[in-house]
């Protein structure tokens, strides 16, 4: 059988999430750069936009978005190897950590990539252009890098990075590294002895930007060696956890959330809840202004539109303004759906863990339409009554 094909880049945040899943599950695949002519000839027309990563299955099926890619692949593995924990609390926590990894860690990832040019740009210039232009002369590659880096710098500001807030962004990231490093003292992965969607969600920013780019990679090695090792481990097709001895590949017993992980959840509650709730409220406000939207419409009218204005929220004693990203509602809805599948007792157990971290509003917030996925695009779900706790 032909292998899977992953269209991706070494320096791409979300590519790292999909690639790690393929490697950890020893799924045969070939990686192709988006500069490969087959990407523009076959993939872009199929999905309607330029975006990575994209998975092409042996039967020709094209799957875009890391969540959909992992779901597509996870359906082929044994239940005991699934990226989704079988127990309710750990499953909900895994969804939360996937959300925070892919969206909440964007700010330090973009800051440490694009605000340290003397150290990073000599590497990034060649790393980016190598994937975007296969062949070509140096002038062409430099032009492509300049265009790409300008777009990424604009996105960095859109995610809330400003000169005034940089000191707090750096302190926040240092706190995160310390908490994650402390948790990894007791287990090789976030929920025990094997990776889950929590780990794959963290892998995007922590590999591509924060462990691979020159400036932050040194910082991680010096301040959080266990996190650095975790990044290596997440790229290996084996357990790669010799420093833990004869560790089991099971998740934590009895659906437990250890104290070190609860501390990380409390950090997320302080760091990210206000932003997540502001994102939902802003999308709900946009929908209120666009009553003509119907079920199944492409979000914002075009598949390549990512932002729907801005929103401002309190953050670490300051006010932060960021772009509104409707896609995040898709991840919050998945979290809520995972909880809704459990019994009343299961849901109470989840709510207790989330409430302790101050995250329980995420379990109840409801915009007038969720973002869902269809045909490799974000689309609007059915209309409903909005609910905003508190």
pLDDT per position as a tens digit, 1-14: 799 999 999 999 99
Give residue-wise pLDDT tens across range 140-182: 888 989 999 999 999 999 999 999 999 999 999 999 999 999 9
- The band of 279, judged by pLDDT with boundaries at 50, 70 and 90, is very high
Which CATH number does 4-81 carry? 3.40.30.10
Q: Which residue ranges make up each domain of the chain?
A: 4-81, 88-255, 271-380
CATH 3.40.920.10 corresponds to the domain 88-255: no
What's the confidence (pLDDT) of residue 1? 77
Domains 4-81 and 88-255 share a fold: no
Give residue-wise pLDDT tens across range 181-196: 999 999 999 999 999 9
Residues in the chain: 390
Give residue-wise pLDDT tens across range 324-358: 999 999 999 999 999 999 999 999 999 999 999 99
Give residue-wise pLDDT tens across range 29-54: 999 999 999 999 999 999 999 999 99
The dihedral sign for the CA sequence 11, 13, 19, 20: positive
Cβ neighbours of residue 362 closer than 8 Å, sequence gap 6 or more:
96, 273, 276, 277, 332, 335, 336, 354
Averaged pLDDT for residues 293-301: 97
Averaged pLDDT for residues 112-133: 95
Helix spans in the chain (H): 13-24, 37-38, 44-47, 66-74, 88-99, 106-114, 117-132, 138-158, 166-184, 197-208, 214-223, 225-234, 259-289, 327-340, 344-356
Give the whole-number percent of the chain exceeding pLDDT 70.
Answer: 100
Mean of the per-residue pLDDT values of the chain: 96
pLDDT at residue 137 greater than cutoff 90: no
The DSSP 8-state label assigned to residue 55 in this structure reads E
257-260 own/partner pairs: CB under 8 Å, 24+ apart: 257/89, 257/90, 257/93, 257/353, 258/183, 258/186, 258/187, 260/179, 260/182, 260/183, 260/185, 260/186
* Cα maximum dimension of the chain: 63
């Amino acid at each position: 059988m032909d292998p899977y094909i992953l269209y991706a880049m070494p320096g791409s945040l979300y590519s790292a999430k999909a690639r790690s899943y393929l490697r950890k599950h020893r799924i045969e695949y070939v990686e192709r750069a988006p500069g490969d002519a087959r990407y523009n000839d076959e993939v872009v027309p199929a999905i309607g936009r330029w975006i990575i990563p994209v998975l092409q299955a042996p039967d020709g099926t094209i799957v875009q978005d890391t969540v959909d890619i992992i779901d597509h692949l996870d359906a082929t593995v044994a239940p005991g190897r699934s990226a989704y924990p079988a127990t309710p609390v750990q499953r909900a926590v895994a969804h939360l950590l996937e959300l925070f990894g892919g969206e909440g860690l964007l700010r330090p990832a973009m800051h440490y990539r694009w605000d340290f040019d003397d150290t990073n740009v000599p590497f990034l210039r060649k790393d980016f252009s190598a994937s975007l232009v296969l062949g070509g002369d140096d002038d062409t590659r430099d032009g492509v890098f300049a265009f790409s880096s300008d777009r990424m710098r604009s996105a960095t500001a859109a995610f809330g990075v400003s000169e005034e807030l940089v000191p707090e962004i750096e302190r926040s990231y240092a706190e995160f590294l310390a908490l994650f490093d402390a948790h990894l003292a007791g287990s090789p992965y976030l929920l025990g002895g094997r990776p889950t969607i929590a780990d794959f969600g963290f892998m995007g920013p922590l590999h591509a930007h924060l462990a691979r780019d020159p400036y932050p990679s040194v910082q991680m090695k010096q301040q959080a060696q266990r996190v650095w090792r975790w990044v290596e481990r997440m790229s290996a097709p084996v357990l790669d956890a010799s420093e833990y001895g004869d560790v089991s590949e099971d998740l934590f017993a009895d659906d437990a959330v250890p104290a070190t992980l609860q501390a990380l959840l409390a950090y997320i509650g302080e760091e990210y809840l206000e932003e997540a709730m502001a994102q939902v409220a802003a999308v709900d406000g946009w929908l209120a202004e666009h009553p003509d939207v119907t079920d199944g419409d492409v979000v914002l009218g075009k598949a390549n539109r990512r932002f729907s204005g801005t929103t401002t929220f309190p953050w670490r004693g300051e006010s932060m303004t960021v772009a509104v990203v409707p896609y995040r509602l898709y991840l919050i809805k998945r979290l809520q759906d995972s909880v809704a599948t459990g019994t009343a007792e299961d849901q109470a157990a989840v709510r207790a863990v989330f409430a302790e971290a101050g995250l329980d509003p995420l379990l109840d917030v409801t915009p007038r339409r969720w973002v869902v996925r269809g045909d490799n695009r974000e689309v609007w779900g059915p209309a409903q009554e909005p609910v905003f706790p508190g």
